[in-house]
Amino acid sequence: MKVTEKDVAYVADLANLELTEEERARMLRDLNSILEYMERLSELETGNVAPMAQVSDRYGVDESRQGSDRFAYTIREDVKEGLRESLPHDAAVKNAPDTDGMFFEVPKVIER
Amino acid sequence: MAPALTIDDVRTAITKRQTTATALARDFYTRIRQEDPEIGAFLTLCEERALAQAGRIDAMTAEGKPLPPLGGVPVAIKDVMVTRGVRTTAGSKILENFIPPYDCTAVARLEAAGAVILGKLNCDEFAMGSSNENSAYHAVHNPRDKSRVPGGSSGGSAAAVAAEMAVATLGSDTGGSIRQPASFCGVVGLKPTYGRVSRYGLIAFASSLDHIGPFAKTVKEVALVLRTIAGRDPMDSTSAEVPVPDYVAELEKPVKGLRIGVAKEYFGEGLDSEVRAAVEAAIQKLADLGCEVVPVSLPHTEYAIPAYYIVATAEASSNLARFDGVRYGFRAKANTLSEMYRQTRDGGFGMEVKRRIMLGTYALSAGYYDAYYLKAQKVRTLLTRDFDEAFKKVDVIAAPTCPTPAFRLGEKVNDPLAMYLADIYTVTANLAGIPGISVPCSENHEKLPIGLQLFARHFDEATLLRVAHAYEQTRKAA
């Protein structure tokens, strides 16, 4: 077993998940079985291989430029009209579970 | 209602005044009410919006205006794409009452082309699953055999087309979620190139792997829908500035002389013998059409599932952090903010979503990042290079879509790893970003559909669709 109960508790904490006792037990079993399968990646020698985070840096880019300038086509005018306008206030809070109409309301933030 | 209505049939019937968009939409709702209780493809119907759109189409035709390309065509949308004013759940309890304030670009483009949106389709929660059994609402039954899964995560999208409850549908594909259900339900499903279709308004699962694409009964209809939804969108910076060809016109070009690659890695252990025979026979059909069949090698294929599930869950754990009960969706009652976050996410997410958040958080956590996430990204480079090399020698690669036909409901629910392995032939195209399509090619001894999968180079959907169409014609002739 690679992942311990302590790891499950730690990761659940990072992910803001509570998890019941039963869920923790299942998670322990499932994460270990899945990660064991993932281990086969270590068979591959990847010392000189660059990581790939996305596909889109290969297409539509200006190859003659460097860094984010390569994505010049994605830059758009900073305008207020049309699609680019922000959501109106009332639409933005309409789905909120708790709102005073102006702000999102949440339980007490400062804990002692 | 006549069976197997295509987009062309709809256009012809409306143009010739044999029906109206309104009458057709009502027919489809009648059919949905009859058929869907046993299938479960729909989560929400938006009759008001559909009839308003149908009314606009009918008014246009009454004035003698030309019918738009998808004028009056009844379609439906996987419930991971937001629809203004129409509940969008992503198959999750956490969004049970979410009414989006805007439309997904792909949905808006369909409607602008005249399509009538009937409703929202069931799927695995946040598109995480391969059987549709992870929907927080109800399972979907495969219309071809109701004891079996329709595939996932776009199970509702495939089932709705297969059961004639919509002429075409949209789904999303992060690791095979369009192609696998298309294969299981016996319809055509296309995952376009990454960047071909805007993801604006698609509820994010794994942003570097997510794609929107169409389902329909024929390749031509899929080409028509793709033409409508494809192209640069300023609202999605990853949508590429690459021209959109007329995919429908390209279909009729000859396929003779095209090189079809076959990789032994897609025909290995675990492949059902009937699926293998069906796909090999389909490749022979392509050879009969004058294509040259060329062996190719995709040597890193066996590492695709581990690499995929690390990248996908890592991205998911980050994307799903936004569901915290503050701005929208379900909120648990709690005394403090941190308790509220935890209890909201605990009560709002299902087991598979929690499992993937846990896996992704683990893979990104201090001490494990290099061993898992960074390693997976490097393997992603190797997998993409495999395709780059292969496409120097061939124009299209042919493979099975899935190792088996549709499995039974409940068969894999308690074994997440077995469920992940069902995606073995589809995740590679998501990692590399190349387009892939599943086309029905046969049935097994139990009359369950089998899908042929084809891949092409980035942004070469035209060749992909052309080969798929040519193959489809051989089946019609037979």
For B35-90, write each residue's pLDDT tens digit.
Answer: 999 999 999 999 999 999 999 999 999 999 999 999 999 999 999 999 999 999 99
Identify whether the C-beta of residue B164 lies closer than 8 Å to the C-beta of residue B193. Answer: no
Closest CA to B357 of A29, A13, A42, A2: A13
Q: Using 50, 70 and 90 to split pLDDT, how confident is the model at A67?
A: confident
Mean pLDDT of B258-286: 97
H or E, element range at B258: none
> A72: how many CB neighbours lie within 10 A of its CB?
12
Question: In sequence order, what DSSP letters do the residues of B305-354 get, joined into one string?
Answer: HHHHHHHHHHHHHHHGGG-SSSSSS-----SBHHHHHHHHHHHHS-HHHH
**Residue in A with minimal Cα distance to B300:** A44
Residues of B in contact with A15 (CB under 8 A): 317, 345, 357-358, 361
Q: Using 50, 70 and 90 to split pLDDT, how confident is the model at B2?
A: very low
Residues of B in contact with A9 (CB under 8 A): none
Contact B375 A54 (CB under 8 A): no
Q: Give the mean pLDDT of chain B.
A: 96
Q: What is the pLDDT of residue A112?
A: 60
Mean pLDDT of B238-262: 96
Q: Is B440 exposed, middle or buried (0-12, 13-18, 19+ CB in 10 A)?
A: buried
**Residue in B with minimal Cα distance to A91:** B101
Instruction: Catalogue the long-range contacts made by B86-89 (C-beta closer than 8 Å, 24 or more residues apart).
Output: B86/B44, B86/B46, B86/B49, B86/B117, B86/B119, B86/B120, B87/B43, B87/B44, B87/B120, B88/B120, B88/B203, B89/B43, B89/B44, B89/B120, B89/B136, B89/B137
- Cis peptide bond N-terminal to B153, omega within 30: yes
Q: What is the pLDDT of residue A80?
A: 64
Q: What is the pLDDT of residue B1?
A: 43
pTM given for the model: 0.96
CB of B197 within 8 Å of any CB in chain A?
Answer: no
Of residues B70 and A55, more confidently modeled: B70
- Closest-CA distance, B16 to chain A, in angstroms, reads 37
Q: Name residues 3-22 of chain B within 8 A of A (Cβ).
A: none
Closest CA to B46 of B139, B204, B166: B166
Residues of A in contact with B194 (CB under 8 A): 54-56
Query: Which amino acid makes up residue B388?
Result: D
Q: What is the pLDDT of residue B274?
A: 98
Contact A51 B378 (CB under 8 A): yes
Q: Name residues 257-286 of chain B within 8 A of A (Cβ).
A: none
Q: Name residues 454-473 of chain B within 8 A of A (Cβ).
A: 458-459
- Closest-CA distance, A64 to chain B, in angstroms, reads 16
**Residue in A with minimal Cα distance to B331:** A97
Which parts of B40-125 fold into alpha helices (H)? 47-62, 105-112
Predicted complex ipTM:
0.91
CA distances from B291 to A2, A102, B295, B343, B463 (A): 50, 64, 13, 58, 12
Residues B263-272: tens digit of each pLDDT = 999 999 899 9
The pLDDT > 90 percentage for chain B reads 95
CB of A18 within 8 Å of any CB in chain B?
Answer: yes
For residue B65, what are its two tokens?
Answer: 């205006």
Q: Using 50, 70 and 90 to split pLDDT, how confident is the model at A66?
A: confident
| B365 DSSP 8-state letter | S
Q: Which domains does chain B have, with CATH numbers?
A: 7-240 (3.90.1300.10)
Residues B129-138: tens digit of each pLDDT = 999 999 999 9
Residues of A in contact with B324 (CB under 8 A): 16
Mean pLDDT of B398-425: 94
Go through A91-108 and write b for each residue having 16 or more CB atoms within 10 A of its CB, e for each that does not: eebebbbebeeeeeebbe
**Residue in A with minimal Cα distance to B416:** A30
Preferred mutation among B378, B384, B419, B455 to probe A, highest tally of A CBs within 10 A? B378
The pLDDT > 70 percentage for chain B reads 99
Q: What is the pLDDT of residue A73?
A: 73
Cα separation, B222 vs B232, in Å, equals 19
Q: Using 50, 70 and 90 to split pLDDT, how confident is the model at A1?
A: low
Query: Which amino acid makes up residue B347?
Result: G
Please name the member of B240, B324, B336 whose beta carbon is closest to the beta carbon of A60: B240
Q: What is the pLDDT of residue A60?
A: 65
Length of chain B: 478
Residues B9-43: tens digit of each pLDDT = 999 999 999 999 999 999 999 999 999 999 999 99
Identify whether the C-beta of residue A72 lies closer than 8 Å to the C-beta of residue B241. Answer: no
Cα separation, B469 vs B478, in Å, equals 14
Identify whether the C-beta of residue B266 lies closer than 8 Å to the C-beta of residue B394. Answer: no
How many Cα atoms are found within 13 Å in the side-chain-facing hemisphere of B33? 7
What angle separates helix A21-38 from helix A5-14, to the nearest 10 degrees? Answer: 100
For residue B291, what are its two tokens?
Answer: 């294509």
| B120 DSSP 8-state letter | E
Contact B354 A46 (CB under 8 A): no
Q: Which domains does chain A have, with CATH numbers?
A: 5-43 (1.10.20), 56-93 (no CATH)
Give the A:B interface size as CB pairs under 8 Å: 185
Q: Name residues 99-138 of chain B within 8 A of A (Cβ).
A: 99, 101-102
Q: Is B477 exposed, middle or buried (0-12, 13-18, 19+ CB in 10 A)?
A: exposed
Active-site residue list of B: 78, 153, 177
- Closest-CA distance, B346 to chain A, in angstroms, reads 6
Residues of B in contact with A92 (CB under 8 A): 101, 327
Q: Using 50, 70 and 90 to split pLDDT, how confident is the model at A43?
A: very high
Identify whether the C-beta of residue B172 lies closer than 8 Å to the C-beta of residue B154. Answer: yes
Closest CA to A111 of B334, B342, B325, B336: B336
**Residue in A with minimal Cα distance to B432:** A55
Residues B172-187: tens digit of each pLDDT = 999 999 999 999 999 9
Comparing A74-88, B147-161, B295-309, B334-348, which segment has the lowest mean pLDDT? A74-88
Cβ-proximal residues to A59 (8 Å cutoff; 6+ apart), any chain = B193, B195, B240, B242, B458, B459
Cα separation, B13 vs B72, in Å, equals 10
For residue B395, what are its two tokens?
Answer: 């124009």
Q: What is the pLDDT of residue A82?
A: 57
Q: Using 50, 70 and 90 to split pLDDT, how confident is the model at A87?
A: confident
Identify whether the C-beta of residue B54 lies closer than 8 Å to the C-beta of residue B72. Answer: yes
Mean pLDDT of B283-298: 98
Contact B342 A17 (CB under 8 A): yes
Residue identified by tokens 């790893």 is: B417
Backbone φ, ψ for residue A28 (5° rounding): -60, -50
